[in-house]
Structure 1
Amino acid sequence: MTTSELLIDDLGYVDIPRCAALEKEMFAGDSPWPATAFRAELNAPYNRYFAAREVRGGEVVGYAGVSTLGTAGSYECEIHTIAVAPSHRGRGYGRALLAALLDVADDCGAPMFLEVRTDNDTAIELYARNGFVRSGIRRNYYQPSGADAYTMIRPAQSPTAPQPGSAP
């Protein structure tokens, strides 16, 4: 997916140092992921990670990841993270990253689960606009801050059907 000043593509190993640096900047109070965590996430065959960039091959300004678990006919997807550099917030990067994650779930007809800080109104509103509803709360979920998280779910959508005239 591309638009002017917005490109969503696959996150690669070359992007790991930038992602780890963004984690330290954005999540200093809640155990930011080190480079080794990103490497483990990219190595897992059931995960898919995306990068937001301003230009093809450019620096990562946001990233998102999802896992698809289960077997055909009973898949579930879980959002691991969506993060956008503070300098790029409010420009649609988070919305575009979420759309890429939702496409993964929709392609296999899976419900989507996530946790979000209870004080992150911007993210909660974004998720609600995209069909997520609150299903519970996890007390002291984020560490070491002790912040609570809502558990949210978006019901499964029909698997994406091929468009007329597209290759099978």
Structure 2
Amino acid sequence: MTNYESSYKESSGTQTFLFRIAMWWRIGYGFFRLIFGFILLNVVGTPISDIFYKIASHELSQDPNDILIQTLTPIVNNFPITITYFVAIYFLFWGILDITLSILLLKHKMWAFPLTIVLISGFVVYEVYRFTHTHSIVLLGVIVIDAIIALLIYRERKSLLG
């Protein structure tokens, strides 16, 4: 075996390992989305400010001058959004899709590779659009993670095809 073949097998092994970690990450994230979606179904029609106060009430009873609560209160008070079925269904749908596609990718169902890459790429385009408006560092991190996962999926597909 030549040095090139040896380093290719090492690289391929590392790549497959990273691909599997990425798919398990997506499965875990998908379950998080499902749980969050089911929670949101229970509070449809409730203003976000009501949910915030319910969650923060214990902290407020212990320390009414809590800096985090005091900072978030004006923001939440001016947040006119109520939880809708759309938001809950959105999380449920994408949770199921993440879990299903990740399992299919782990089983090397070849048709799932391009579909997943297209879906992730679409989200990355939308996330970049949102980033241009929000300049959110968290969103930038999500963009980087999604791009890396799409690249890992692409490379895994390429290595499976030979």
Larger radius of gyration: 2
Q: TM-score, length-normalised on structure 2?
A: 0.28
Higher helix share: 2
Q: TM-score, length-normalised on structure 1?
A: 0.28
Higher strand share: 1
**Relative contact order (C-alpha < 8 Å, sep 6+): which is higher?**
2
